[in-house]
């Protein structure tokens, strides 16, 4: 399985007035890794699907607010 987390390194100018965030992180949606929807995909129960936001475990993407707020590698 591919990692859904990607990093990028923004340009840090020599005259930036704020301390730089050298590594920023974002999430890639899991459907980008599926070329087509295969038959007979496993499914969550209806209550679990409502709680997780998707019927299929293959399309579940957990949300980690720490990654979106600070970025990985931020000091």
pLDDT of residue 70: 47
Rounded to two decimals, the pTM is: 0.56
Provide the residue count of the chain: 75
Average pLDDT over residues 44-64: 89
pLDDT of residue 49: 94
**pLDDT surpasses 60 at 1:** no
Q: Please state, as a whole number, how many other Cβ atoms lie within 10 Å of the Cβ of residue 25.
A: 19
In angstroms, the Cα distances linking 3 to 27, 32, 47 are 9, 11, 27
Average pLDDT over residues 10-14: 92
């Amino acid at each position: 399985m591919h990692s859904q987390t990607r990093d990028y390194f923004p340009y840090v100018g020599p005259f930036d007035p704020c301390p730089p965030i050298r590594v920023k992180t974002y999430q890639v949606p899991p459907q980008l890794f599926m070329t087509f929807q295969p038959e007979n995909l496993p499914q969550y129960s209806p209550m679990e699907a409502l709680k997780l936001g998707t019927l299929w475990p293959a399309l579940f993407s957990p949300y980690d607010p720490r990654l979106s707020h600070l970025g990985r590698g931020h000091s």
